[in-house]
Structure 1
Amino acid sequence: MQAPPIDSAVLPRGRSASEEEAVDDPSRGSRSDIPWWLWALVGALFFAYTTLSLRIHQRMLSNSFDLGIFDQVVRSYAHGHLPVSEVKGPDYPVLGDHFSPILALIAPFYRLWPTAMTLLVVQAAVIAASVLPLTLWARRTLGSPAAAVIGVCYGLSWGIASGVGVDFHEWAFAVPLLAFSLTAVGTGRLRAGAFWAMPLLLVKEDLGLTVVMIGISIAWRGKRKLGIVTAAVGLVGTLLATMVILPAFNPHGSWDYSQFLKDPQGGEGGLGDLLYRCTIGLITPETKITTLLMVLAPSLFLALRSPLMWIALPTALWRLSSNLTTHWGTSYHYSFTLMPIVFAAFIDALSRRRPSKNSLIRYLAGSAAITLLILPQYPLWQLVQPATWQDDPRIAVAQRLMDKIPDDATVQASSQLVPQLTDRTSTSLYGWADSRPNPQWILVDTWVPPQRRWPQDDLTERDSLDRARAQDYFTVAEEQGFVLLKRRY
């Protein structure tokens, strides 16, 4: 059977399918000149992401889960060790938690600047870089004005803002990889699409299923052998990570996150539970419907008209079928990987439709309006809030007390204090059952608001501090709600 021709509607204007195949080698890169305004856009977004992330960290609003964990991971790599995280447990091997060896790429930068802020800057850089391929694709097919609008809407989209505004996450590396891969697939450079997809296997164990969908898309577009091989590698990668590598490193000998796919009541689930999850359970409760609408809204739902949207299916399915409620909503980093897919599908759909100038203006105006309407509800809006730039005098107190703790000491600290200490001490989470027992130091912020207090409530925390004082610890300092204890021996 003859392979179907590449759809001319998805190719850049002025370039034939044969010409696209001629540049299908990913090592040759794009020959399009990048205009100054696109560099300016990428730079402005990098500055915004970096400023927001660093300001949150400087205000001590970052957390043990996840910035503290990832700081310890990268610190391990930077010192030539397999990654461990004291936050997860004493010498906990993180390759038994999530398969994310791509984090080792941050190690050289961490050696130069050993602080959790390095991770935040790297995250800002890779997310900002993802704007380049999508905007260049839109410029080639829709023109510079349309590309500028799409680039801004993508860069300010709520899914990106949610992730950037909440610590650091390994999924950040998937965002540019997806943007480059889908741009290549959408423009007919299928070998390049497979090339950019393969490193997703090193970002997180679930992304192998996304690679499977990219492989199917490549096969559907004409390169059947390449597509089948790509899909097979993705499937084998996920199975190898979840069934072999993660259980081998995990202290419990299993992949812990499989629990999120079990019956919400705690059982193993049966056929009825499976049927429920695959049908009505995907759209109930209403939070799930809201999230689906929010994901598609920036594209005015045009993304659904592109076959590229199928690539979002694995991420959408595991999130909607999970029994962890935070997976269902629009907070945190869980929509990081959906945004490049949605906007790639948006560009693809517009390229296929070839709308008139007036229609294109309406689509872009609608996308921009939705982006601006949603923007104040998500973290990037903090950049224009006065409270973001006000210095809390308690921060100086906390810094002074942390300076009393020597390097390489064992510490238990409140969640917001953990990532302030992980770059130079062995830090775990105070009140967390799996934390290293009997640390040399304890530092607790007793004034944390109830909505941010975790893992202990106020009463439990006070009782545990009183027990520590009555047993092995004495008070070094108690000031502005911060309590610093040291072990007597």
Structure 2
Amino acid sequence: MHPPDKPAFDAETAQEPSGGSRSEVAWWIWALAGALFFTYTVLSLRIHERMLSNSFDLGIFEQAIRSYADGHLPVSEVKGPDFPILGDHFSPVLVLVAPLYALWSSPKVLLVTQALLIAASVMPLALWARRSLGSLAAVVIGICYGLSWGIASAVGFDFHEVAFAVPLLAFSLTALANNRFRAAACWALPLLLVKEDLGLTVIAIGVIIALRGDRRLGIITAASGVAGALLAMLVVLPAFSPTGSYAYTFWLDSPGGGGGLGDLLHKSTIGLITPQTKVTTLLLVLAPTLFLAMRSPLMWIALPTLLWRFASSNASHWGTSYHYSLVLMPIVFAAFIDALVRRRSSRSSLRRCLAGCAAITFLLLPQSPFWQLVQPATWRTDPRIAVAHKLMDRIPDGATVQASNKLVPQLTGRTSVSLHGWPTSRPRPEWIMVDGTVPQHERWPLNPLQERMALDEARSHGYSLVANEDGYVLLQRRS
């Protein structure tokens, strides 16, 4: 077997690559990353402009980053009055967004940052594919990775801290596959600052480093992952948490805590009886690579994320929605490249593999959020949006507010806003604003009847009606 860092052939010439300079291909790899950045940015900004972003999670993350920009530890009113975010998830990496937010105080800063981070992860994978498999492979793999369903699901759903993990993983796994172990470790260790569960991923990377030849560095890396994860989950998070404990122990409790052994056994049994969602997710993770990714030891690095998700009692972790598969995409595509390099296949065989990867990626594309970009509805502006902003403009900066889910991210930049109807929202805010036209199946956390009752109760306890226009209701607390 040839060393994994040596190219087997050039797919375009069927000859050993000449080892040309990187500058020969850098321009189109930059262009590919730039085109994907533009795609991600346009989609996420358009979703926000259409008022389709959410309190959970764009509102939460903007409040956390706004706190950093204001010079204090992150809190989120959406989670609860002055709720310390470092007691929920350990993501100090968010402080890196604060300088940008200080220049432009808008949730759009978060969305653009996320787009940039994900687009940047294409470059190491495409460069590795070009160097080892040829330019055709680099183009196809770069596009298929950039448009993969896991990335699309994340871009189409607000902002999340794990966006920082994507380029770190892409650079780390590229270095690891090419036996640059020190670089692999250096790119992996910052994952400990992205989210507490990524310490398990660092452990996996350390184990692979040790098995591939640098035992000492691998053990140090894995030990750092263990120490980082335990420190975050057993010390830092409980210290900041209002409950004094880590709310997601073993990722087996629903957000907000609760659970326990009985709940764990009950929900785990349900998960075993109805595994279809988990099986579908696993198949979709591997399908774009024609399951060839399983031939690479790099796929072991995906195991910690898959295990905690499938062991979780929160059913939203099992499926393909939201952002939960984002960190899997650089792993599975790095494993795909590694598997293709190891196969030493003929040019025609490689092209069949690439064609299959492209076919599955584009077959799934109409089901992904990226498809919104070619839908006319995406580019139409609902007149109600102008009405909503007109009414929100009546709320002064710095006011305390309770608002409907989709309204929260429109107010987080200049008010102290929480979610209307959420149990831990700040009581008796100065303003309440709700959207009464949200379809019943999208109403959250209150159903229509509960929302009407809550508004009636507010009016009977000192709130006056300021406006009722196009389904938007704005109340103000009387002094």
TM range (shorter): over 0.9
- Deviations along 1:310-345, one digit per CA (max 9) or x if unpaired, are 000000000011111100000000000000000000
- Are the counterparts in 1 of residues 5 and 177 from structure 2 also a CA contact under 8 Å? yes
Equivalent-residue separation in structure 1 for 2:363 and 2:238 (angstroms): 44
The one of 304, 307, 326 aligned to 1:317: 307
Q: 1:79 aligns with which of 33, 58, 70?
A: 70
Match of 1:208 among 195, 199, 208: 199
Count of paired positions: 466
Unaligned runs of 5+ residues in structure 1 are: 1-6, 16-29
Tell me how far apart the structure 2 counterparts of residues 35 and 262 of structure 1 sit (CA, whole Å): 46
Give 1:10's aligned residue.
Answer: 4
- CA offsets per residue over residues 109-137 of structure 1, 9 Å max, x none? 00111000100000000000000000100
Cross-structure match for 1:443: 433
- Name the structure 1 match of 2:360: 370
Query: For 1:9, what is the secondary structure of its paired residue?
Result: coil
Deviation at 1:217, TM superposition (A): 0.6
Aligned to 1:471: 461
Partners of 2:272 and 2:299 in 1: CA distance: 17
Distance 2:251 2:227 in 1: 21
Going from structure 1 to structure 2, the CA distance change for 1:458 and 1:288 (only over 3 Å counts) comes to same
2:246 to 255, 259, 281: 255
Instruction: For residues 167-195 of structure 1, give each alpha carbon's deviation from its aligned partner in whole angstroms, at most 9, with x where no partner exists.
Output: 00001000000000000001111100000
Are the equivalent residues in 1 in contact too, given 2:8–2:133 (CA < 8 A)?
no
Counterpart for residue 403 of structure 1: 393
CA contact (8 A) 1:52 1:165 kept: yes
- Residue 104 of structure 1: how far off its partner (Å): 0.3
Given that residues 63 and 77 in structure 2 are in contact (C-alpha distance below 8 angstroms), is that contact kept between their aligned partners in structure 1? yes
- Does the aligned pair in 2 maintain the 1:50–1:121 contact within 8 Å? yes
Task: For structure 2, list consecutive stretches of 5 or more residues without a partner in the other structure.
Answer: 10-19
SS at match of 1:72: helix
Deviation at 1:12, TM superposition (A): 3.4
Aligned to 1:152: 143
Q: Give the superposition deviation at 1:37.
A: 1.4
Task: Tell me by how many angstroms 1:283 deviates.
Answer: 8.5
Amino acid at match of 1:117: K
Structure 1 segment 80-159 matched on structure 2, within 5 A: 80-159=71-150
Please, which of 149, 153, 168 is the counterpart of residue 177 of structure 1? 168
- Sort the Cα spacing of 1:413 and 1:259 in 2 relative to 1 into closer, same or farther, 3 A: farther
Q: What's the offset of the Cα at 1:280?
A: 10
Identify which of 152, 157, 171 aligns with 1:166. Answer: 157
Task: Determine the C-alpha separation between the residues in 1 that align with 2:265 and 2:211.
Answer: 33
Question: Equivalent residue for 1:430?
Answer: 420
Quick one: which of 439, 442, 446 aligns to 1:456? 446
Per-residue deviation, residues 241-270 of structure 1 (Å, max 9, x unmatched)? 001100000000011112742699944159
2:12 aligns to what? Answer: none
Q: Is the 8 A contact 1:149 1:364 kept in 2?
A: yes
Taking the aligned partners of 1:289 and 1:331, their CA distance within structure 2 comes to 14
Residues in 2 aligned to 1:479 and 1:235: alpha-carbon distance in whole angstroms: 55
- Distance (Å, rounded) in 2 between the aligned partners of 1:453 and 1:213: 40
- Residue from 347, 355, 364 that aligns with 1:357: 347
Shift of 1:300: 0.3
2:408 to 409, 415, 418: 418
Partner of 2:16: none
| Contact 1:306-1:349 at 8 Å conserved across structures | yes
1:393 aligns with 2:383: yes
SS in 1 for 2:467: strand
Q: Which residue of 2 aligns with 1:197?
A: 188
* CA shift for structure 1 position 405: 0.5
* Contact 1:303–1:309 (CA under 8 A) maintained in structure 2: yes
2:68 aligned partner, one-letter code: Y
- Paired letter, 1:436: R
Structure 1 residues 407 and 297, CA gap change in structure 2 (3 angstroms): same
The answer as to 2:33 corresponding to 1:39 is no
Is 1:308 the counterpart of 2:298 in the alignment? yes
What is the letter of the counterpart of residue 191 of structure 1?
R
- Contact preservation (8 Å) 1:178, 1:341: yes
Task: Assess if the C-alpha contact under 8 Å between 2:247 and 2:253 holds in 1.
Answer: no
In 2 relative to 1, CA 486–46 (structure 1 residues): closer, same or farther, beyond 3 Å?
Answer: same
TM-score (norm 1): 0.92
Cα deviation code 1:218-263 (max 9, x no counterpart): 0011000000000000011001100110000000001111274269
Aligned CA-pair RMSD: 2.1
For residue 412 of structure 1, give the secondary structure of its aligned residue in structure 2: strand
Distance apart, 1:36 and its partner CA? 1.6
Structure 2 distance, partners of 1:260, 1:188, is 33
